[in-house]
Copies of this chain bind each other. A is one copy, B any other.
Amino acid sequence: MNFFNTVGKMAIGSRLRMLTDRITEDAAEIYKLYKIDMQPKWFPVFYALSQGEEKTITGIANEIGHSHPSVSKIISEMSKKGLVIEKKGNADGRRNMVRLSEKGVEFNLKIQDQYKDVENAIEEISAQATNDLWKAIEEWEFLLEQKTLLRRVKEQQKQRESRSVKIVDYKPQYAKAFKALNEEWISSYFKMEEADYKALDDPEGYILKNGGHILVALYEDEPLGVCAILKIQNGDFDYELAKMAVSPKAQGKNIGWLLGLAALDKARSLGASKVYLESNTILKPAINLYHKLGFKKIAGYPSPYERSNIQMAVDLNLQ
């Protein structure tokens, strides 16, 4: 199928399906070949019962990895052909206890040769191939168990999007975004305070002129995240990280992380060694991010903000 070579690996699902179809198609013919009146789809159920034990519908379903309605249907078909015997559970009246009938046991004997031949035929193919399909499937099952394809794709998406995020210095054109993004989260969790208005309404006068800096995260030229470092005049720290805000619609693009890194880089380039911040513990993702950036909880500093209930700091020289 030339198509698959042009499409690439993302068509692996379709390709797998076609191989599967091809094999199951032949399987039906193979049963005919051995003159055993059994449908290929019965096989896993039949096999699960072949040791002679009594099993329940859901028991079989779990064992072979089908849904229980599928097993239920197959059992009723096999029952009609007289291959299995159903019996209502003795101790538990909900259960449908199923086992091979005498005819079923007979079938099981007859079918052994077929098993051997099919097994050998598949071994023959395996021997001719240099890549082991069986092992490859096993590995894929394992890897998908550990992390689903969906999660892997999500991670790729995040990575790609974070690559196309640009962190730039503040310009007057970003004034609106700087205020809006901050106002959005502050007013949804707390309420805007005096100090907020001062900084957000006049960032140039309040932050930049006092030796602070503002960074803006652009995604496709749209400002979706902001963050500031404020020069601290006197005390144990050089800068305060503040006014970090990321648009909810940009979640999962790593923007917070990128802004945080850029802010610390900026502080470092300005000769800072200790950076301070204030936050609130109900903002769990934010606290988490600060941890990842290297901030540690400290205590005993006064804050102009009501909402502040945690203080953190990082020593850039120890990073």
Contact = CB atoms under 8 A, between A and B. Distances in A.
A272 to B, nearest CB: 37
B122 A65 contact: no
Contacts of A3: 44, 48, 63-65
> What interface size band does chain A fall in?
35 or more
A147 B144 CA distance: 32
B13 A24 contact: yes
A75 to B, nearest CB: 17
B139 A129 contact: yes
B115 A10 contact: yes
A157 interface: yes
Contacts of A157: 33-34, 113, 117
A81 B314 CA distance: 54
Interface stretch (A83-91, A148-156, A195-203, A280-288): A148-156
Interface stretch (A130-138, A171-179, A221-229, A263-271): A130-138
17 contacts: A3-B48, A10-B115, A11-B44, A12-B133, A14-B43, A14-B44, A16-B137, A17-B24, A19-B137, A22-B149, A26-B150, A30-B149, A33-B150, A125-B144, A125-B149, A129-B139, A131-B135
